[in-house]
Amino acid sequence: MADINASIHFLLLIFFSSTFLYLKLLNLVPAMAFSMLSSWVGLDCCRWSGVVCSQRVPRVIKLKLRNQYARSPDANDEDTGAFEDDYGAAHAFGGEISHSLLDLKDLRYLDLEHEQFEGLQIPKFIGSFKRLRYLNLSGASFGGTIPPHLGNLSSLLYLDLNSYSLESVEDDLHWLSGHLPRDLGKLCNLRTLKLSFNSISRETTEFMDGLSECVNSSSLESLDLGFNYKLGGFLPNSLGHLKNLKSLHLWSNSFVGSILNSIGNLSSLQGFYISENQMNGIIPESVGQLSALVALDHSENPWVGVMTESHFSNLTSLTELAIKKSSPNITLVFNVNSKWIPPFKLNYLELRTCQLGHKFPAWLRTQNQLKTIVLNNARFQTRYLIGFGS
C-alpha cells in the first residue's frame, strides 16, 4: 500500500504548437496515474489517451482526463466502497495547472473529475476559454472561492463544480466556499450547473437575478445547489424566470420563508427538491400549475398553512410526493373535499406530521399504482383503509 500511495514529483507543462501537444514538465503525479499517461509519447498527441482532436485540421478540442478508477458518489457498496475510494485516490493526479493550457485555443471540453488538486484554487485563466462548452472539475478537491472569471465562458453548456471527494476531509479546504458570483448568471447558454457538496454561503439572489436578465431567457435546465448547508436566505422571485428549468435541487441548505408564487411559471420543471431546509412559510397554490412535475420533496421543513385541491390541480405527471418532518409538532394541514379525485397517480407517497382531516382521505383510494405509502403521525380519525385499488 505504501508503494501504491507513493507520489513522484513532476512538473506538468502542456503547451500547444502547430498541431502537436507536448508533454515537457509534470506536477505532483502519483505513480499509478501513469496508467493513463503512459500513452503520452511521440509527437502525435491526437493518439494520446484522453486527448481528442478535430478531424479536418488536427487541433486539440477535448481533454478527457477524469479519474476512471473513481467510485461514483451514488455507489453504496459497503463491502467494497472503502477499497474503491483508496484505489481511485491512488490513481489520481494533481498539482498546479499551467497557464500553458491556454495555448489550446480550440479547447471545448475539459474533464478533470475526481483528480486530486489538494485544495488549490480553480485557476482564473480557465475563464479565458471562449469556446469551452463542457467543464467538469467535480470531486477534484479544488478549494477557495469560485472565480467570477468563469462567467466569461459564454459558450459553456455544462458546469460541474460539486465537491464530492474520494477521500473524506476534516476541514473545508477541499471545498469551494464564499458566495455565488453574480457573473455566473451571465452564462445564458448554460444548461447544467452542479455546485453541491460545497461550503457556499449567503444568498442566491444576485446569481438568480443575473440568470433572469438573459436575453430570450436562461437556457438552464438543471440546477443543483444541494448540501451547501450555509447557503440560504429567501428564495428570490427571479427563480420563477428560469422557464427552461427541469430539475431543481436545493436540499440540505438554509433557505427560509415561503415558496414564491412565481414558481408556477416553471412549466418544464420535473423535479423539485427542497427538503432539509428551514422553510417556515407557506407552499403557494401556484405549485399546482407545474404540469410537468414528476417528483416533489418538501420534507423536513417547518411549513405552515393549509394545502387544498388547488395545490395539486394541474399536477398530472406527479408520481412521487414527500412532505414529512421528524418534529411531532403539526403545522401543515391538508384540507380537500371528500369527493376530490387527484389528477395524478402516485407510486410513492410519504406524509409525516401533518393533519390530513377528520377522516381517512378518500382520495387515497384512487391511487392504485402506489408501491410505497408512509403515513406517520398524519392525523385522522379512521384507523383503517378500505377500497384500495390493486
Condensed to tens digits (0 to 9), the pLDDT of residues 261-287 reads: 999 999 999 999 999 999 999 999 999
Condensed to tens digits (0 to 9), the pLDDT of residues 316-327 reads: 999 999 999 999
Per-residue CA distances from 271 to 77, 178, 319, 352 (Å):
26, 27, 11, 20
CA nearest neighbour of 271 among 320, 232, 316 = 320
Split at pLDDT 50, 70, 90, the class of 164 is confident
Domains in the chain (CATH in brackets) are: 257-389 (3.80.10.10)
Letter for the amino acid at 61? I
HEC per residue, the chain: CHHHHCEECCCEEEEEECCEEEEEEECCEEHHHHHHHCCCCCCCHHHCCCEEECCCCCCEEEEECCCCCCCCCCCCCCCCHHHHHHHHHHCCCCCCCCHHHHHCCCCCEEECCCCCCCCCECCHHHHHCCCCCEEECCCCCCEEECCHHHHHCCCCCEEECCCCCCCCCCCCCCCEEECCCHHHHHCCCCCEEECCCCEECECCHHHHHHHHCCCCCCCCCEEECCCCCCEEEECCHHHHHCCCCCEEECCCCEEECCCCHHHHHCCCCCEEECCCCECCCCCCHHHHHCCCCCEEECCCCCCCEEECHHHHCCCCCCCEEEECCCCCCCCEEECCCCCCCCCCCCCEEEEEEEECCCCCCHHHHHCCCCCEEEEEEEECCCCCCCCCCC
* pLDDT reading at 90 higher than 80: no
CB of 195 within 8 A of CB of 201? no
pLDDT for 386 equals 43
pLDDT for 94 equals 74
Condensed to tens digits (0 to 9), the pLDDT of residues 209-232 reads: 999 999 888 999 999 999 999 999
Split at pLDDT 50, 70, 90, the class of 349 is very high
Rounded distance between C-alpha atoms, residue 324 and residue 374, angstroms: 10
Rounded distance between C-alpha atoms, residue 302 and residue 254, angstroms: 12
Given the C-alpha cell 493550457, which residue does it identify?
101
CA nearest neighbour of 169 among 200, 136, 198 = 198
Radius of gyration in angstroms for the set of CA atoms belonging to the chain, rounded to a whole number:
24
* pLDDT reading at 56 higher than 90: no
CA nearest neighbour of 185 among 210, 216, 158, 212 = 210
pLDDT for 383 equals 53
* pLDDT reading at 195 higher than 90: yes
pLDDT for 16 equals 35
pLDDT for 169 equals 46
Split at pLDDT 50, 70, 90, the class of 97 is confident
Rounded distance between C-alpha atoms, residue 290 and residue 294, angstroms: 9
Give the whole-number percent of the chain exceeding pLDDT 70: 80
Largest CA distance in the chain: 79
The cell numbers describing 263, all together, are 414558481
Split at pLDDT 50, 70, 90, the class of 358 is confident
CA nearest neighbour of 162 among 125, 130, 192, 204 = 192
pLDDT for 379 equals 78
Q: Which residue has the higher pLDDT, 87 or 122?
A: 122
Rounded distance between C-alpha atoms, residue 261 and residue 287, angstroms: 8
Condensed to tens digits (0 to 9), the pLDDT of residues 8-42 reads: 222 233 433 333 444 433 344 444 455 566 777 88
Split at pLDDT 50, 70, 90, the class of 357 is confident
pLDDT for 360 equals 85
* pLDDT reading at 174 higher than 80: no
Rank 7-11, 309-313, 335-339 by mean pLDDT and report only the highest: 309-313
The cell numbers describing 261, all together, are 408564487
CB of 67 within 8 A of CB of 113? yes
The mean pLDDT of the chain is 84
Split at pLDDT 50, 70, 90, the class of 81 is very low
Per-residue CA distances from 381 to 214, 320, 325 (Å):
52, 25, 20
Query: Residues 96-120: what's their mean pLDDT?
Result: 92
Split at pLDDT 50, 70, 90, the class of 85 is low
Per-residue CA distances from 8 to 11, 20, 92 (Å):
10, 26, 12
Mode of pairing for the β-strands spanning 158-160 and 192-194: parallel
Condensed to tens digits (0 to 9), the pLDDT of residues 250-259 reads: 999 999 999 9
